């Protein structure tokens, strides 16, 4: 078995001569076999091995097991890194929390001690259990790839060299080599879904077809290749249509609506994977189908609620992913002559006098510019704020219009209305809504003296 293991690792370039490798060793059969095989490989390729072990303190035997492993490593002069999980609550979501604790420790050890790879002992049966669990619970195509044999991790890579082996192969090797290992009795309990699949489902499928594990491996690889093709099509569209905003993300829908349903579906799956799922929002297939329905409806404005306060808001040919719980902060700015202010990370406002040109920050010099001439009739300081209910703007000496009505007439999406800035004179008259409307009060007469220029710049 060693020759097969060694050839597999070398052909996949899992290590180089003199490389520092950290082994995740629990003390169970799989990881002790990994430790044994890697010691033989280390002698052939002068590898620098170390062992990382976590005592979760869930069983009485864990103390003696950790002690055995410590002594094992000391006798063989293998560096040994150890940590205990000391959390008080070990009843809720224990598997996920224990896993996070382990991998945080492994990452910390790699970064601090300069290891380039972490090796774990996941095998073919683990792969089958993982994919069956995902199929049972429902999962996207991308997530059905299963366990990868290598992936970026911490300061280097996470390598799983045992995916080509079944559990039986590891057991036979351990028996032949009389390797000492420890059985975690919780693995025998059918309390957990993975254990039920391990004991009741996978053995039946392996009996039905001895090549079942190989077929699972092939399936996982095919899914991985299919996802590569999908992403090569979706990624350019995502980069073109999706933009980060102050409150979430905006999605241009005009071209998306012209695509086939298959493209639309995988685009939305990619969208959620890159945006809301990292925010802890769970997205299911029914919600993707609901979004597709909204996308292809003719109604100009529609809303769809998600969990944790997130919403999808469709406004004409743009959709927004935004969190309604993040209430817009009431901001007010005041400007005197030759003053400037950043209204947001992508918006800048400055008031320069006719005698002194304003020195603009370098970062805004190439931003899109809008300007308004200010006469002596306009009193300072100017107030800058967001729209309020009841705001009206004077369009002629005899006509005023509510800003809300003006936005509706111009078919301005709701989110843009909320983010629009309103600029008022010191006597509380609206003189400008940058990008959207000028008040007649701001139009200079022939006899008016121009004193200032108001500059609004936005990063496009």
The structural domains of the chain, with segments of one domain joined by +, span: 2-208, 235-323, 332-458
Mean pLDDT of 198-206: 91
Mean pLDDT of 405-430: 86
Determine the Cα–Cα distance for residues 277 and 141; give it in Å rounded to an integer: 15
The answer to whether residue 328 scores a pLDDT higher than 70 is: no
Q: How confident is the model at residue 369 (pLDDT cuts 50, 70, 90)?
A: very high
Q: 135-153, pLDDT tens digit by residue?
A: 887 766 776 777 889 999 9
Give kind and range of the element (H or E) at residue 39: helix 29-45
Mean pLDDT of 47-55: 95
**The model scores a pTM over 0.85:** no
Determine the Cα–Cα distance for residues 16 and 28; give it in Å rounded to an integer: 27
Determine the Cα–Cα distance for residues 225 and 181; give it in Å rounded to an integer: 37
Q: 215-266, pLDDT tens digit by residue?
A: 998 998 898 899 899 999 999 999 999 998 877 899 999 999 999 999 999 9
pLDDT given for residue 327 in this prediction? 44
Q: Which residues pair with 348 in a beta bridge?
A: 342, 457
- The number of angstroms, rounded, from the C-alpha of 87 to the middle of its chain's C-alpha atoms is 27
The answer to whether residue 308 scores a pLDDT higher than 90 is: no
Mean pLDDT of 78-106: 86
Q: Name the average pLDDT for the chain.
A: 88
Q: 10-40, pLDDT tens digit by residue?
A: 999 999 999 999 999 999 999 999 999 999 9
Class of domain 2-208: alpha beta
Q: What percent of the chain has pLDDT over 90?
A: 51
Name, in order, each residue with C-beta under 8 angstroms of 371's C-beta and a sequence gap of 6 or more: 453, 454, 455, 456
Mean pLDDT of 71-95: 87
Determine the Cα–Cα distance for residues 451 and 460; give it in Å rounded to an integer: 29
Q: How confident is the model at residue 460 (pLDDT cuts 50, 70, 90)?
A: confident
**CATH code for residues 235-323:** 3.30.465.60
Q: What percent of the chain has pLDDT over 70?
A: 96
The answer to whether residue 313 scores a pLDDT higher than 60 is: yes
Q: 56-76, pLDDT tens digit by residue?
A: 887 778 889 999 999 999 999
The answer to whether residue 90 scores a pLDDT higher than 70 is: no
Q: Which of 397, 431, 393 lies closest to 410 in space, CA to CA? A: 393
Q: How confident is the model at residue 350 (pLDDT cuts 50, 70, 90)?
A: very high
Mean pLDDT of 314-336: 76
């Amino acid at each position: 078995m060693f020759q097969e293991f060694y050839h597999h690792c070398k052909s996949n370039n899992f290590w180089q001569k003199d490389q520092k490798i950290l082994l995740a060793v629990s003390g169970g059969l799989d990881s002790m076999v990994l430790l044994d095989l890697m010691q033989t490989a280390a002698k052939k390729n002068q590898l620098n091995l170390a062992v990382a072990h976590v005592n979760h303190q869930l069983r009485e035997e864990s103390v003696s097991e950790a002690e055995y492993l410590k002594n094992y490593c000391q006798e063989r002069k293998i560096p040994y890194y150890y940590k205990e999980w000391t959390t008080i609550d070990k009843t809720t979501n224990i598997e996920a929390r224990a896993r996070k604790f382990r991998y945080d420790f492994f990452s910390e050890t790699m970064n601090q001690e300069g290891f380039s790879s972490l090796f774990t002992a996941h095998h073919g049966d683990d792969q089958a259990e993982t994919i069956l669990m995902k199929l049972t619970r429902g999962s996207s195509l991308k997530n059905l790839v299963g366990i990868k044999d290598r992936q970026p991790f911490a300061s280097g890579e996470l390598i799983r060299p045992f995916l080509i082996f079944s559990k039986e192969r590891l057991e036979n090797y351990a028996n032949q080599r009389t390797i000492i290992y420890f059985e975690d009795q919780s693995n025998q309990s059918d309390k957990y879904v993975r254990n039920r699949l391990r004991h009741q489902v996978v053995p039946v499928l392996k009996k039905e077809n001895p090549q079942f594990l190989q077929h699972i491996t092939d399936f996982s690889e095919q899914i991985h290749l299919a996802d590569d093709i999908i992403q090569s099509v979706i990624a350019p569209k995502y980069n073109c249509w999706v933009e980060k905003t102050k409150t979430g993300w905006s999605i241009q829908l005009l071209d998306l609506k012209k695509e086939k349903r298959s493209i639309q579906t995988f685009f939305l799956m990619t969208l959620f994977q890159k945006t809301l799922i990292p925010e802890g929002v769970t997205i299911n297939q029914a919600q993707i189908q609901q979004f597709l329905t909204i996308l292809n409806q003719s109604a100009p404005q529609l809303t769809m609620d998600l969990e944790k306060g997130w919403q999808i808001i469709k406004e004409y040919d743009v959709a927004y992913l935004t969190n309604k719980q993040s209430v817009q902060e009431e901001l007010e700015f005041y400007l005197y002559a030759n003053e400037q202010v950043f209204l947001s990370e992508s918006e800048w406002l400055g008031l320069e006098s006719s005698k002194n040109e304003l020195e603009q920050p370098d970062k805004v010099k190439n931003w899109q510019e809008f300007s308004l001439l200010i006469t002596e009739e306009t009193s300072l300081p100017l107030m800058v704020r967001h729209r309020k209910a009841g705001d009206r703007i004077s369009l002629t000496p005899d006509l005023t219009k509510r800003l809300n009505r003006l936005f509706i007439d111009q078919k301005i999406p709701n989110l843009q209305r909320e983010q629009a800035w309103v600029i008022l004179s010191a006597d509380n008259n609206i003189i400008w809504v940058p990008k959207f409307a000028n008040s007649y009060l701001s139009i200079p007469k022939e006899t008016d003296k121009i004193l200032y220029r108001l500059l609004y710049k936005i990063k496009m």
